[in-house]
Amino acid sequence: MIENILQYQFMQRAFIAAVLVSIACGIVGTYVVIKRIVSLSGAISHAAFGGVGLGYFLGVNPVLAAIPFSILSAMGIGAIRDRVKVSEDTAIGILWSVGMAIGIIFINLTPGNAPDLFSYLFGSILTIDNSDLFIMFILDLIIIATVFLFQREFLVISFDEEFSKVLGVPTEFIYMLLLSLVALSVVVLIKVVGVILIIALLSIPAAISKQFTYNIKKLMVFSIITGAILTVIGLLLSYIFNLASGATIILVLGITFTVVSLVKKYW
């Protein structure tokens, strides 16, 4: 059956995309889960919709437009947390809603209709083209290189931000850099599961893997492998049963997390 499915180019691209998104999810998702910034990551993913709307308005690839918009949104929430006297959950709520509102306004101002807008909201891995794969590949390389260069700093601020200041780590810069990596991961994931469901794919593989190891490097590797396997399974199920690909992938991840959690608790 796999051989029959792989004869289609759109399925070949979808499988490649599944691997590329799993790399971003496994690496950045590890820090998201350890640092407990899942909600913040959700806010960045929804704010990225503003970049999608801007792309439609300017007539450029919405994914490319979402890159600077997502990074600026991530830095914005980091700046609000450090410099403005509001709680982090308030800043998350503001960024979450304002980003979506900006995207809606830009799309509303764009002449005609946005034909594939649904794919950016809820994902459509089957519509990914070669340019999307190239963008994902480049962003994955940037994520890998950044984590390799700053792995010690990311590790320290993930477990104890106050202690990292004592060690002389530039915590504000490293935190902003981590949020920027989250933003890049969001862009990688947009066409796969959409801005509505990104938070799940960014956190669930790492949450599953965390139940088996606390070693950061092993956690990243396990998260990448887990994400790739479950994303491919979800993709196959969505193709076989003619279901929405993004939602099916997330359901597979959610069911797997539930089963693993129950087995670990009662076995």
CATH number, domain containing residue 14: 1.10.3470.10
pLDDT tens column, 36-78:
888 888 888 888 899 999 988 888 888 888 899 889 888 887 7
Rounded CA separation 76/257 (Å): 32
Owning domain of residue 59: 2-266
Q: How many C-alpha atoms does 177 have within 13 Å on its Cβ side?
A: 21
Q: Give me the DSSP letters along 75-109.
A: HHHHHHHHHSSS-HHHHHHHHHHHHHHHHHHHHHH
- State how many domains the chain has: 1
pLDDT tens column, 195-244:
878 888 899 999 999 999 888 999 999 999 999 999 999 999 998 898 88
Predicted TM-score (pTM) above 0.75: yes
pLDDT tens column, 140-177:
999 999 999 999 899 888 887 777 777 788 888 898 99
Q: Are 257 and 58 in contact (CB under 8 A)?
A: no
Find where tokens 């991530």 sit.
Answer: 74
3-state helix, strand, coil in the chain (%, to 5): 85, 0, 15
pLDDT tens column, 71-125:
988 888 777 766 666 666 777 788 888 888 998 899 888 887 766 677 788 888 8
Rounded CA separation 8/14 (Å): 10
In percent, the amount of the chain with pLDDT more than 70 equals: 94
Q: Give me the DSSP letters along 139-155.
A: HHHHHHHHHHHSHHHHH
Q: Are 231 and 256 in contact (CB under 8 A)?
A: no
For the chain, the first-to-last Cα distance in angstroms comes to 34
